[in-house]
Structure 1
Amino acid sequence: MDLTAAESVNPLLPPVGEIIVGLITFAILAFVVMKYVFPVIEKTFQARREAIEGGMERAEAAQAEAKAALEQYRAQLAEARNEAAQIRDAARAEGQQILEELRTQAQEESARITARGEEQLAASRQQVVNELRGQIGSMAVTLAGRVVGESLEDDARRRGTVDRFLDELDGMSASTPAAAGTTGGSTVYSPEGDR
């Protein structure tokens, strides 16, 4: 019987008691895993998912802030460029105005200097003419006295003669060369008109 009993027991199948004990142990282990381990794993998974989603939201918010800051920077840069252009245009206009003022002042100063020079020239000319009149008058009187043979001592006569002579010289310098050519370029002076 030993053989028949040994032949009826399948060596591949465990005994029924072991199967029942294994099933009960598996059920207890499954219960413990479902009751205590799965909630912890689920909490950890949920925390990681929230961390990842929060990180993505924070990254999107940071990207939106960066984009807004970039737009603000671009607007400020455009405003600064416009302001710089306005300042440059204002400086250019002010420079032109200053140049015009300086040009006007220079022209006024030039006109003033020219007028002063002309006044000084006229005064110098008058002084030279007066000196020459005196010298020419003395020479003319002396020469006329020698030519006529008499002395023109009287001051009034001398002055009249000198003035008339100088007036004739002025008239000759103002006349045309053709008129001067008719007299042969020389004038005969006669002091007898004073007598």
Structure 2
Amino acid sequence: MNINATLFAQAIVFAILVWFTMKFVWPPITKALDERAQKIAEGLAAAEKAKTELAVASKRIEDALAQSRNEAAARLADAERRAQAIIEEAKARAAEEAARIVAAAQAEAQQQVVQAREALREQVALLAVKGAEQILRREVDARAHADMLERLKAEL
């Protein structure tokens, strides 16, 4: 056999193999590689989009949390103001009630003083009547009686 013919035959077989590979084997491989590259690119794009959306969502969450904190602080401040107003109102009502009770107690004490004076006057009047009765039983002396009555008037 001739080495040139063998080399020529091997070159033809190689060319047929290259043609067959390029015609039937290479297109599905390139198609699969292209699809794979496209899927990877889509995955990377989706990951980038998700990363951007995550950043946006995180920002919205931070804003919502800050707003919630501000609202909570405002509600607490409002509650504290309400509590202070209620406390002040209760203090005012308690002061009014205390003043009313003190006034009622003073009025009652004044009534008791008046009643005690009336009772004392009645007792003094009874004593005066008893004293006059005893005086009249003993003796009738106008001057002594007048002095005694004057002293009783002064005591009353």
User: Number of aligned pairs?
Assistant: 147
Shift of 1:165: 3.2
Residue from 101, 108, 114 that aligns with 1:126: 114
Residues 130-163 of structure 1 show CA distances to partners (whole Å, capped at 9, x for unaligned) of 1111112211332355357458xxxxxxxxx59x
Residues 14-52 of structure 1 show CA distances to partners (whole Å, capped at 9, x for unaligned) of 533322221211111111112222222211111111111
Give the whole-Å Cα distance in 2 for the aligned partners of 1:30 and 1:73: 60
Residue from 94, 97, 110 that aligns with 2:85: 97
Give the whole-Å Cα distance in 2 for the aligned partners of 1:14 and 1:87: 103
Does residue 135 of structure 1 match 2:123?
yes
Residue from 65, 72, 95 that aligns with 1:77: 65
Partner-residue secondary structure (3-state), 1:103: helix
Does residue 165 of structure 1 match 2:156?
no
Higher relative contact order (CA 8 A, sep 6+): 2
Alignment match, 1:53: 41
Q: Unpaired runs of 5+ in structure 1? A: 1-12, 152-160, 171-195
Alignment match, 1:115: 103
Q: Normalising to structure 1: TM-score of the pair? A: 0.68
Given residue 131 of structure 1, which amino acid in structure 2 is its aligned partner?
Answer: A
Q: Unpaired runs of 5+ in structure 2? A: 141-148
Does residue 15 of structure 1 match 2:40?
no
Give the whole-Å Cα distance in 1 for the aligned partners of 2:2 and 2:37: 45
Q: Which has the larger radius of gyration?
A: 1
Q: Report the CA distance shift for 1:132/1:150 in structure 2 as closer, same or farther (over 3 A).
A: farther
Give the whole-Å Cα distance in 2 for the aligned partners of 1:69 and 1:14: 77
Partner-residue secondary structure (3-state), 2:14: helix
RMSD: 2.3
Q: Normalising to structure 2: TM-score of the pair? A: 0.83
Given residue 165 of structure 1, which amino acid in structure 2 is its aligned partner?
Answer: L
Shift of 1:107: 0.8
Alignment match, 2:54: 66
Give the whole-Å Cα distance in 2 for the aligned partners of 1:34 and 1:71: 53
Give the whole-Å Cα distance in 2 for the aligned partners of 1:63 and 1:42: 31
Give the whole-Å Cα distance in 1 for the aligned partners of 2:115 and 2:52: 93
Give the whole-Å Cα distance in 2 for the aligned partners of 1:131 and 1:50: 117
Give the whole-Å Cα distance in 2 for the aligned partners of 1:107 and 1:35: 106
Residues 72-123 of structure 1 show CA distances to partners (whole Å, capped at 9, x for unaligned) of 1110000000001111011101111111111111111111111111111111
